[in-house]
Amino acid sequence: MTRSTLAPFPRWACVLLLAGLLSAWASNAPAAERAALETASAPLVIAHRGASGYLPEHSLAAYAFAYALGADYLEPDIVITRDGHPIALHDLTLDATTNVREVFPGRARDDGLHYVVDFTLAEIRQLRMFERIEPETGEQRYPARFSAALGDFRVVTLAELIELTQGLNASTGRDVGIYPETKFPAFHEAAGHDIAAIVLEVLEGHGYREREHRAIIQSFEPEPLRRLREEGVRLRLVQLLGENDWEMNHVDYAPMYTVEGLAEIAAYADGIGPPITRIILGVDANGAPQFSTLVADAHAAELAVHPYTVRTDALPEGISIGDLLYLLLEIQQVDGLFIDQPDVMVEFLRLLRSPQRATWPRDMR
Ligand code: G3P
Ligand code: CA
């Protein structure tokens, strides 16, 4: 199944809904008090794989651009090299985002793919990283984005990304955070790597140790998060929620969406990261948006909610970016969003907090 399918969403219905709710917005108590990971700046703009809507995901350029566009947090997915280095990449394999097939012919596994855990960091540094393609066809996943034919981007380590962030924090006076995801802990464990421990070591080595520090660890697998908490890690932890039928998944997510399951998550984590489609379920016969109770249930359990992933160029069918942001941020009061185009959320929040909000959402369309 895909991660971002919603039923058609008539704009007129949303306009009517929004008109009725704009006045209520002004008197809403801040959600921050109840559950946000950070009360000062919630909702958080979380730059998904950097400003990946504009530059190749996980490139240093994409992270620097996300920083400049006003993101609160920079999100890297993390995988581990053969020699134990955490690097910023989404896939366990290199085929969709690098020229590994040209540089290392003959190094694929039986499935034809080149796995990060089979390559040293020195080898991976030889690769050109580019905008995501479909490896079998060469077509770009998002055709209107940065051309995969352009640029000489290189894979970066978690440490290099942190140092970019901390360097920019020093030179700008801002305090942008880092929000790493430990990818496939069970796969890494089978390959001899404790990815949660490796990521934690790099974070602690760069000064991130306390709850108020600007680092959040996220994972789709609960066990590493539980273990970190049991071991006394004070950094904030976010449990990502997925779907049971996803490829390579071995986690039963169904109980996690229940009130009881959320209470269990709250015992070791500070927030959840659910798919948007688990919050906005579609529309009813009159075209009115239908929501689950997930956000309210999570907030009742004192869990922050950071849904994924907003992409202005891959929106759910029938919904505009303005409507989507409004429904998530204002109606549902989520505490942050993973977004490929962080500037769009920054601008949305600026408008929402300004006197111009009376004219919104038409301005956003
Ligand atoms: O980590 C939140 C979101 O990024 C999860 O989706 O597949 O892009 O890592 P993915
Ligand atoms: Ca991620």
What percent of the chain clears pLDDT 70, i.e. is strictly above it?
Answer: 86
Residue nearest to atom 3 of ligand 1 (CA): 308
Tell me: pLDDT of 363 over 50: no
Q: What's the pLDDT at 139? A: 98
The answer to whether residue 38 sits within a structural domain is: no
Q: Final residue of a domain: which of 154, 172, 196?
A: 154
Alpha-carbon distances, residue 147 vs 131, 153, 257, 342 (angstroms): 7, 12, 38, 20
Considering only residues 126 and 358, tell me which one the structure prediction assigns the higher pLDDT. Answer: 126
Atom of ligand 1 nearest to the CA of 181: 1
Q: What are phi and psi of 69, to 5 degrees?
A: -80, -5
210 and 125 within one domain? no
Alpha-carbon distances, residue 197 vs 120, 161, 170, 225, 271 (angstroms): 19, 18, 27, 10, 20
Residue 108 exposed, middle or buried by CB count within 10 Å (0-12, 13-18, 19+): middle
> Residue 307 carries which side chain, given as an amino acid letter?
P
Strand bridging mode 73-75 / 177-178: parallel
Ligand 1 centre and the CA of 20: distance in Å? 33
Q: Final residue of a domain: which of 114, 136, 154?
A: 154
85 and 171 within one domain? yes
143 and 181 within one domain? no
Show the tokens assigned to 49. 């794989």
Tell me: pLDDT of 30 over 50: no
Ligand 1 proximity of 240 Cβ (cutoff 6 Å): yes
The answer to whether residue 188 sits within a structural domain is: yes
Q: Which ligand is nearest to the CA of 337?
A: 1
Give every CB contact of residue 43 below 8 A, 6+ residues apart in sequence: 36, 329, 334, 335, 336, 337, 349
The answer to whether residue 24 sits within a structural domain is: no
346 and 246 within one domain? yes
Residue nearest to atom 7 of ligand 1 (CA): 90
Residue 41 pLDDT class (50, 70, 90 cuts): low
Tell me: pLDDT of 171 over 80: yes
The answer to whether residue 17 sits within a structural domain is: no
Tell me: pLDDT of 182 over 90: yes
The answer to whether residue 11 sits within a structural domain is: no
221 and 350 within one domain? yes
Q: What's the pLDDT at 360? A: 57
Residue 354 pLDDT class (50, 70, 90 cuts): confident
Provide the β-strand partners of residue 237.
217
What does the DSSP 8-state code read for residue 315? P
| Exposure string for 337-361, b = 16+ CB within 10 A, e = fewer | bbbbbbbbbbbbbebbeeeebeebb
Ligand 1 proximity of 91 Cβ (cutoff 6 Å): no
Considering only residues 363 and 359, tell me which one the structure prediction assigns the higher pLDDT. Answer: 359
Query: What value does the mean pLDDT take over residues 271-286?
Result: 93
Q: What's the pLDDT at 1? A: 31
The answer to whether residue 2 sits within a structural domain is: no
Q: What's the pLDDT at 40? A: 46
Q: What are phi and psi of 211, to 5 degrees?
A: -55, -40
193 and 228 within one domain? yes
> Residue 200 carries which side chain, given as an amino acid letter?
L
In 3-state terms, what secondary structure has residue 93?
Answer: strand
Considering only residues 6 and 136, tell me which one the structure prediction assigns the higher pLDDT. Answer: 136
- Residue range 193-238, pLDDT digits in tens: 999 999 999 999 999 999 999 999 999 999 999 999 999 999 999 9
The CA R_g of the chain, rounded to the nearest whole Å, is: 20
> In total, how many domains does the chain have?
2
Query: What value does the mean pLDDT take over residues 282-296?
Result: 91
Has this prediction a pTM greater than 0.75? yes
Q: Final residue of a domain: which of 154, 189, 221?
A: 154
Ligand 1 centre and the CA of 100: distance in Å? 23
293 and 272 within one domain? yes
- Residue range 313-331, pLDDT digits in tens: 999 888 999 999 999 999 9
200 and 337 within one domain? yes
Ligand 1 proximity of 311 Cβ (cutoff 6 Å): no
The answer to whether residue 37 sits within a structural domain is: no
Strand bridging mode 177-178 / 236-240: unpaired
Show the tokens assigned to 361. 């959402």
Q: Are 73 and 177 in contact (CB under 8 A)?
A: yes
What percent of the chain clears pLDDT 90, i.e. is strictly above it?
Answer: 81
Alpha-carbon distances, residue 33 vs 26, 218, 297 (angstroms): 16, 22, 15
Alpha-carbon distances, residue 236 vs 102, 180, 206, 251 (angstroms): 40, 11, 16, 21
Residue 114, domain extent: 98-154
Give every CB contact of residue 88 below 8 A, 6+ residues apart in sequence: 49, 58, 76, 77, 78, 155, 156, 157, 158, 161
Q: Are 59 and 156 in contact (CB under 8 A)?
A: yes
142 and 261 within one domain? no
143 and 194 within one domain? no
Ligand 1 proximity of 219 Cβ (cutoff 6 Å): no
What does the DSSP 8-state code read for residue 92? S
Query: What value does the mean pLDDT take over residues 60-73?
Result: 98
For position 204, which CATH number holds? 3.20.20.190
Pocket test for ligand 1, best of 77, 225, 239 (most atoms within 8 A of CB): 77
Ligand 1 proximity of 340 Cβ (cutoff 6 Å): no
Mean pLDDT of the chain: 89
244 and 119 within one domain? no
The answer to whether residue 3 sits within a structural domain is: no
Q: What is the C-alpha separation between 200 and 182, in angstroms, rounded? A: 10
* Ranges assigned E (strand) in the chain: 44-48, 73-75, 77-80, 86-88, 177-178, 181-182, 216-219, 236-240, 271-273, 280-283, 289-291, 304-305, 336-339
Tell me: pLDDT of 95 over 60: yes
187 and 135 within one domain? no
Positions annotated as catalytic residues are 48, 90
